Amino acid sequence: MRVVLVDAGGTNIGSVRYALQRLGVEASLTADADTIRGADKVILPGVGAAGPGMARLRELGLVDLMRSLAQPVLGVCLGMQLLCKHSEEGDTECLGLIPASVGLIPDEPGLRVPHMGWNQLALEQSHPLLRDVRDGDWAYFVHSYAVPLGAFTLASAQHGVSFSAMVSARNFHGMQFHPERSGDVGSRLLRNFIEL
């Protein structure tokens, strides 16, 4: 099983790698197109802003490659947002693999943005990624921008508004929260991805 982490500059790469090691999976960190293309599973981690994240993928010559992948791909946090069509953050064109646009979480009285901390998952449909995950399980979020609900939404969460916590379209999947910081639920979700 060849699992790769795309080296797109995310500061969560080390913690994602360690979470996979706890599952017995050694994931290599790479920006090499041939290595990514030849992997069984591809993970696109990310922390930060959409503009620099896409700029890094363009600089590495990985945009068309990411769009062409046929194996299971998982975007984590910013990585999930980069799988979408567009982000309001910096008016950024993204990879266009999830048919959604990413928007700023609406500012409401008493609502803290960024959304930071534990929140519950509401399961929206069944999917192999959600095996042994229950409605109401908790996951750890850190984000100011969110993907709206759609036919691609596997699980949602609520922070003022409801938003997509997990998405899937064809072989492309995303988790807005940090599975590597979400305890047993996060481990279960990463294992389910590896077993897709």
Catalytically annotated residue among 89, 94, 180, 195: 180
Q: Is 173 designated active site?
A: no
Q: Is 86 designated active site?
A: no
Residue with token string 């790698």? 17
Q: Is 143 designated active site?
A: no
Q: Rounded CA gap, 176 and 156, in Å?
A: 10
Question: In Å, what is the CA distance from 10 to each residue of 5, 78, 127?
Answer: 10, 8, 27
Catalytically annotated residue among 26, 115, 178, 195: 178
Q: Rounded CA gap, 196 and 99, in Å?
A: 22
174 DSSP β-pair partners: 75, 167
Catalytically annotated residue among 26, 77, 86, 115: 77
* Angle (deg, nearest 10), helices 13-22 and 183-194: 80
Residues with catalytic roles: 77, 178, 180
